[in-house]
Amino acid sequence: MLTLAWTFLKIGLLFFGGGYVLIPLLQHLLVEQYQWLSLREFLDGVAISQLTPGPLAILATFTGVRVGGFGGGLVATICIFAPCVVLMLLVGRYYTRLKEIDLIRITLDGVLPAVVGLVASAAWSLGATLGNLRQWLVLVAAFCLFRFTKVSPMLMILGAGLLGMLLP
């Protein structure tokens, strides 16, 4: 349980530049390093966390429940969100006087291309879970829908789940 808390606290400190940096980070830590989840479970967890209004980091709850039941979920959730809540409270206090902010902003903007590369690498390893041609076709179709329409991820995931149940 302590490892769980510490791990999610570390992750909470690391995520900036949008929630999606979490996908490669979590995939590496949870699947490869600690082996708390299999690749399949990781993907299922992402699907489940996309069904809620919360940020992607709510995936921590899923992992916590998997590792340590309801208590584990609570610990993981608190730990992953604590750093950014605390930072945001500090910002609320001092934001009129943060002068070095442009340097921080330029640095964080500068690292974003690396984030893009890392997120792509997560998609690369997750692609290993796809077995048959039909899944690849669904992937291409879903990609086009995300690109060219404004369908929400939640609806897409629910729809894909239903289709998966109904099709032989």
Partner 1 sequence: MIDPKPDIIAPVRVSLWEIFTLFLKVGLTGFGGGMAIVALTERMVVKEKQWVTPEEFLHGLAFGQILGPFSLNSCTFVGYRLRGVPGGLLAAVGFLLPSFLIVSLLAWLYLRFQHLALLQKALAGTNPVVIALILAVVLDMGKKQIKGRNDWILALAAFAAAALFKLNVALVLAAGLVWAFGTAVYRRRLV
Distance CA 19, CA 81 (A): 12
Distance CA 29, CA 10 (A): 11
- How many chain residues interact with partner 1 (CB under 8 A)? 103
Site for partner 1 in 90-109 (CB under 8 A): 91-93, 95-97, 103-109
Site for partner 1 in 39-58 (CB under 8 A): 40, 43-58
Does 114 participate in binding partner 1 (rule CB under 8 A)?
A: yes
Residue from 29, 30, 31, 75 in contact with partner 1 (CB under 8 A): 29
Nearer to partner 1, 2 or 71 (CB): 71
Residue 74 C-beta: closest distance to partner 1, Å: 8
Amino acid at residue number 102: D
Closest CA to 122 of 15, 7, 20, 36: 20
Distance CA 14, CA 21 (A): 9
Does 157 participate in binding partner 1 (rule CB under 8 A)?
A: yes
Does 117 participate in binding partner 1 (rule CB under 8 A)?
A: yes
Residue from 62, 68, 79, 133 in contact with partner 1 (CB under 8 A): 62
DSSP H helices, the chain, are 2-14, 22-26, 39-49, 59-94, 101-126, 133-148, 153-166
